[in-house]
Structure 1
Amino acid sequence: MNPGMQQMIMFGLIIVVFYFFMIRPQMKKAKDQKKYIDELKRGDKVITTAGIHGKIVDITDTTFLIEVESGTKIRFDKSAISLEASKALNATKA
């Protein structure tokens, strides 16, 4: 086997490793995040990526209206909801 062919095989293996250890898990995480956000409904308790805790009071196509403890309502983009933190919050309160 010539050295050029060995380099090509090694390069191909590096690409496969990157796919399985970096790209694929990131795609799965994004898919799980989207599914979680699509399943949220009024009354669900969430935590935003900024760390704000609240309860969903209204949902539009792209935003959530969240009520915090003081009664203040704040509108957030759906992408601002933290999947891991919100699941942990609901698991401890269940």
Structure 2
Amino acid sequence: MNEGSLGSLLILLLPLLLIIFMIVSGRRRQRVMEEFNASLAVGEEVVTTSGIYGRLVELSESTAELEIAPRTVITVDRRAIGMRAPGTAEESAPEATE
């Protein structure tokens, strides 16, 4: 192979590798979020992706009810729960460690 064809091959290969890397990391991130969502339990202090702090009072397959103040309960999409509240026993944000 000459230098021109090697350069052309690299120009075609690098974007392909970038796309593959993006797909793999996206799937890993999705798996971590699904595991986090499945590990949620009633009574945990959580933070939504929009920054609302609350305690889980009820969980269904698609929604979660959060008590954000005494006797004030809101219903949010379960996917909107971003992390456990800082300072709780199991403080952890869903992050890929690999």
TM-score (norm 1): 0.76
Provide the rounded CA distance (Å) in 1 between the counterparts of 2:68 and 2:33.
Answer: 22
Q: Shift of residue 66 of structure 1?
A: 0.7
Give unpaired runs (5+ residues) of structure 2.
Answer: 90-98
Q: CA RMSD in A?
A: 2.0
Shift of 1:6: 4.6
**Is 2:25 aligned against 1:25?**
yes
Q: 2:34 maps to which residue?
A: 34
Q: How does 1:1-94 map to 2 (within 5 A)?
A: 1=1, 3-4=4-5, 6-20=7-21, 22-83=22-83, 86=84, 89=86, 92-94=87-89
The structure carrying a bigger strand percent of its residues is 2
**Percent identity between the two aligned chains:** 27
- Decide whether the 8 Å contact of 2:46 with 2:55 is kept in 1: yes
TM-score by length of 2: 0.74
> How far has the Cα of 1:14 moved from its partner?
2.9
Contact 2:45 2:88 in 1 (8 A): no
Aligned residues: 88
Query: Going by fraction, where is helix more abundant, 1 or 2?
Result: 1
Extract unaligned runs of 5+ from structure 1.
none
